[in-house]
Amino acid sequence: MSDPLELESRRRIYNFVRKNPGVYMREIQRALEMGTGVLQYQLDYLVKKGLLSVYVDGRRKRYYCTESVSAPDKNILAMLRQKVPRRIMMVCISKNGADFHSIAEFVGSSKSNISFHLSKLIKMGIIEEREEGGEKRYYVRDPEKISDFIVTYRESYLDDLVDRFVESFMGI
């Protein structure tokens, strides 16, 4: 076989990853209803052939189409695949900067969980913290890029707040 995408199963995997960058194996498995062993073998094959690349996010391997995602964007897309970091970014963009209380109110998670993800986003350089009037405010460093990613991949997030964000962003 000369074409790595000659097999239907590989094409399905590749197309799913292309539409859902930063997806991890279990998400692919559920969506495509494939067995673990077969899926892992095909993913490894696609990585070996250079069609997919892997980004290790903590204990998860996230998959991307090699030609379509740069290294810095992998961090952003990995964070957007997670509900709490995605919502933190959305509120910071929507409010053009937000304090911790506004973030907590919007995200609807425990303060410790929000603090954990906020610290991670700051460390990755996706969010910056500024002191303004004796209060810390948080800003997305590249709101246009993040907004574009949210709009482009909105169907893969399965989050009604994403739909409202996109409608607001696009002026619908």
- pLDDT digits over 27-71, tens only? 999 999 999 999 999 999 999 999 999 988 778 888 998 877 777
23 has which bridge partners? 63
Indicate if 53 and 12 belong to the same structural domain: yes
Token pair in block for residue 127: 């969010």
Is pLDDT of 1 > 60? no
The residue among 69, 94, 116 that closes a domain is: 69
Contact 107, 84 (CB under 8 A): yes
Indicate if 82 and 164 belong to the same structural domain: yes
pLDDT digits (tens, 9 = 90+) for 97-133: 999 999 999 998 899 999 999 999 999 999 999 998 8
What pairing do the DSSP bridges indicate for beta strands 23-24 and 60-65?
antiparallel
Structurally, the chain folds into a number of domains equal to 2
The strand order across the sheet containing 135-140 reads 98-99, 135-140, 127-132
Indicate if 93 and 64 belong to the same structural domain: no
Indicate if 160 and 120 belong to the same structural domain: yes
CA distance 8 to 74: 26
Residue 114, class by beta-carbon neighbours within 10 Å (0-12 exposed, 13-18 middle, 19+ buried)?
buried
To 10 degrees, what angle do helices 111-123 and 83-94 make?
A: 80
Residue 117 is which amino acid? H
Is pLDDT of 141 > 90? yes
Q: Which domain holds residue 141?
A: 76-169
Give the rounded percent of residues in the chain with a pLDDT score beyond 90: 55
